[in-house]
Structure 1
Amino acid sequence: DILLYKGNIVPVGEDQIPHVEITREIARKFNFHYPHPETGSVFPEPEPKITKFSRLVGLDGKAKMSKSLGNTILLSDTPEEVLKKVRNAVTDTLKVRRNDPGRPEVCTVFSYHKRFTAREELDSIEAGCRSGALGCVDCKKLCAAAISAELEPLLEKRRYYEDRIELVREILLEGEIKARALASQTMQEVRTAMKLG
């Protein structure tokens, strides 16, 4: 999911849409009761946009990924950790042995493949699953590799910043300064609209 706000794109979860709606309502009411003399409105109304993969089912196949349920793959997980977790992921319960035909549409691992595996490989994996030629163990290994390939740039950047804590502090301080300036400007617009001070 993404939230468009003041021209910026900010990621939000699907479960955050009610919060976006509350924010929209607050902005709408404020702008109606206190129109800005120059711009007309102080607060833009945020707009939620749902992506194709706005939510991934947890490794247990029962609910969305949640740290409290222990069914997640974390952005900080190493390839070894990803493989260990994906090995325990729920698959098609009717596909017991390698040669048994599978049903990708009910398989948690295949839902991850649809998100992380390249399109040309995905068709081959689906066909192998349906025919029974691809076993669940091999399917999970392929899936874990695809997930790890996507996480690798994040891990690399994480390692970079872990070794440069002072740089992280500088970035946070710079962000705080920018946020304070923006908040101050917004509050000035609020005071102008409300005719305060």
Structure 2
Amino acid sequence: MYKVLLVDDEALIREAISENTRWKELGYELMGTCKNGREAIERLDQEEADLVLTDICMPYVDGMELTRYLYEKHKGVKVIIISGYDDFEYAKTAVKYQVMDYILKPITAKELAQTLTRVKEKLDEERFQRSDMKRIRGAYMSNLPILRGRFLNSLLMGNVGAQEIQEKLKDYKIRLNG
């Protein structure tokens, strides 16, 4: 389950999206709602979310400022912008901050569900890649003593070229002073 924070200054929209979206069926948990970006930043600094659904035009801190903040301070948090503005500058800025999707209002529950399904697939893929990298890194670290031993043996036998020696010393974190 991915945690979602919904940010919109219009109470009716927050309520409609909150109540009409089948969060659990889509693989999400709605961790809460915020009425502006400032409130969202405070919440996200306390509790990490996987996805933020945000409006653009809000008081205090707008959706683009929130998106920029997340891009700079919370790299792992994905953003979907739900906006009533089709201004190209907003879309261009959204691309710069790697927004997952930019949806124009009005949006139906079906459209939102389709978008959330696509985003979940991307989140699943990223999570799988991260876990796969951790597994590979763990295997490498557990085999590092063996790799070092083989390298040192090859070095003693004279089977290693000068450039390869430097690379392997660096890769295996071996210091040979003298």
Fold match, TM over 0.5? no
Structure with greater strand share of residues: 2
Structure having greater relative contact order (Cα 8 Å, sep ≥ 6):
1
**TM-score of the superposition, structure 2-length normalised?**
0.29
TM-score, with structure 1 as normaliser: 0.28
